[in-house]
Amino acid sequence: MAYMDYEPVIGTIVNMARGSDCCSQMMSLRTNNGIVNFMITPETKVVDCRPLRAGLRVAAFYDASLPVPLIFPPQYQAQIVTVLTREEQIMLNRFDRNLTAEDNSLQLNVARNTNIETINGQNTGCNLGNQTLLVYYTATTRSIPPQTTPRRIVVLC
């Protein structure tokens, strides 16, 4: 699966509503730019399989290469949804063997307490270099590229 076209939208869930069938839901997020709606389907990967509810701060990723209806508020098909803590940032990118993002926007310093797992929650001992990673972090250095010690890394195989 190609994750390079995935774009994140970070916001707080204001509403979860039943979708067009019993297996889908409509999630409304309040973002800094207004309300954005996401369809959650059985194909949507929800990290940790956490139940989504109003009040949670989340990052929802959509495939920017897919067509979307020109409606307001915007509506996307969620590909990945993950719950974030209050100050947490997230990045989905391909990292090289030195754990520097492909676009040179972040470099990882993995610590012993960094939780590393697959998207379905399984521990992994694989080399993180040359992988697509979903990185959870709070603070970065002011260097170029910025460096961080992430709280969590999800390896997207």
Distance in angstroms (rounded) separating the CA atoms of residues 136 and 97: 19
Is a pLDDT exceeding 80 seen at residue 1? Answer: no
pLDDT tier, 138 (very low <50, low <70, confident <90, very high otherwise) = very high
Contacting residues for 67 by C-beta, under 8 A, at least 6 apart: none
pTM higher than the cut 0.75: yes
Name which residue leads in pLDDT, 1 or 155.
155
Looking at residues 101-112, what average pLDDT do you find? 95
Q: Which of 152, 82, 93 is nearest to 123 (CA)?
A: 152
Distance in angstroms (rounded) separating the CA atoms of residues 36 and 99: 32
pLDDT tier, 60 (very low <50, low <70, confident <90, very high otherwise) = very high
